[in-house]
Chain A
């Protein structure tokens, strides 16, 4: 297991979202769950907490998260991830799914 946390600069999230939190993905082999919550954080940062079963890929994680924080207005949110070996492309997909659910609600 490897555990780390970091905050990334990001444009503020929309004032109104469909839900206060959103969850995407499941903790299964090669998969992960992303919990995205709004509120309480500085509105210009995205706070991230990662727990992964595969150690040694911190640099890739930080790059993927920084990339997301840069591309989406996610300031003022908290991202918590439980990972069981998801590839970076899936991490990005789950982040986008959670973000979409937060903004628009579950469809």
Chain B
């Protein structure tokens, strides 16, 4: 089968162009406005015209959406004050206008050069996401890039209604190198790609229920998955929170002491580890559903 360019290799702007209806993207605070980071400028680090995130209005399948894409190549897609304010504003506008909001994540979390401002910006964006959810406005996180969704952006993605992941995408709080630095190479070898992907990659996240769709590394496939979720929103209720808490407690009890990620796959019903490892994202999703 011939496919377009791989999603994880595209730039933020290319991803947006490929995800939305052709010509429908209308950028908010575009580069000519030059809303750049005052902190980076003070530290003598080059700034970027969009501060590492492209936001705007668009249509997907004729439906109005608000959409953001992070630029991973610019300081690791990290969230600074301006970057975070753009995300917050977009989700706030989504709640106000009752328009579904999508965030294409490629970020290691908060930009350490502007620590507190970045932390606060992420917290404010989470608040805006919950504003959307209270109003039943769908919020979707797309995780399918090289950097993945880590730190504050990993947490933020789990505040959204849904997460669409590719096999390539990774979701977590502390990144692999951070875990290795703290726990030692024996506990977690960040250069072991199989280990890293089996603990934080799309397949494992889908298996554990943290990702709602597992699709090909391709903008068309991601767009299809988004379109299916646009009409849905899951309200945050006390009952839903308690159910989720129980699930997580159960997961911790079952797998908390496990050092072998294959044991987690087996525990979640994967019978043939090798076949599942080699399967594409959608094949894996189908296998997981069939309990193989």
Report A53-76 residues with CB < 8 Å from chain B CB. 53
Cβ of B158 < 8 Å from any Cβ of A? no
Given the complex of chains A and B, what is the CA–CA distance between A56 and B234 in angstroms?
Answer: 56
Which residues on A sit within 8 Å (CB–CB) of B73?
26-28, 31
- Complex Cα gap A52–B31 (Å): 17
B30 interface contact, C-beta 8 A: yes
Interface of A: prevailing SS: strand
Q: Indicate whether A27 sits within 8 Å of B30 (C-beta atoms), given known contacts A82-B46, A82-B49.
A: no
Bits for B11-22, please: 1 = Cβ < 8 Å to A, else 0. Answer: 101000100000
Task: Tell me how far the C-beta of B243 lies from the nearest C-beta in chain A, rounded to whole angstroms.
Answer: 42
**Does A51 count as interface, using CB distance less than 8 angstroms?**
yes
Interface residues on A, range: 10 to 19
Among A27, A80, A84, max chain B CB count under 10 A is at A27
Contact assessment for B44 and A27 in the assembled complex, using a CB-CB cutoff below 8 Å: no
B244-288 interface with A by 8 A CB criterion? none
Q: Does B32 contact A (CB under 8 A)?
A: yes
What chain B residues lie within 8 Å of A52 (beta carbons)?
46
Asked, given contacts A1-B44, A21-B31, A26-B11, whether A35 binds B49 with beta carbons under 8 Å apart, the answer is yes
Residues on B with C-beta less than 8 A from A37 are 32
With beta carbons under 8 angstroms apart, the residue of A21, A23, A27 that contacts B46 is: A27
The A/B interface has a contact count, at CB < 8 Å, of: 46
Q: A23-B13, A26-B74, A106-B17 are in contact. Are A35 and B32 (CB under 8 A)?
A: yes
Asked whether, in the complex, the Cβ of A35 is within 8 Å of the Cβ of B31, the reply is yes
Cα A35 to Cα B71 in complex, Å, equals: 16
Interface flag for A47 (CB, 8 Å)? no
Residues of B48-80 contacting chain A, CB below 8 A: 48-49, 71, 73-74
A31 and B13 alpha carbons, distance in the complex (Å): 16
Please give the residue numbers on chain A whose beta carbons come within 8 Å of chain B beta carbons, in ascending order: 1, 20-21, 23, 26-28, 31, 33, 35, 37, 51-53, 80, 82-84, 106
B residues with a Cβ closer than 8 A to A are: 11, 13, 17, 30-32, 34, 44-49, 71, 73-74
30 contacts between A and B (CB under 8 A): A1-B45, A20-B32, A21-B30, A21-B31, A23-B13, A23-B31, A23-B49, A26-B48, A26-B73, A26-B74, A27-B46, A27-B47, A27-B48, A27-B74, A28-B73, A28-B74, A33-B48, A33-B49, A35-B31, A37-B32, A51-B46, A51-B47, A52-B46, A53-B44, A80-B34, A82-B46, A82-B49, A83-B46, A106-B13, A106-B17
* Additional pairs, 17, CB under 8 Å, beyond known A23-B49, A27-B48: A1-B46, A20-B32, A23-B13, A26-B48, A26-B73, A26-B74, A27-B74, A28-B73, A31-B73, A33-B31, A35-B32, A52-B46, A53-B45, A82-B46, A82-B49, A83-B46, A84-B46
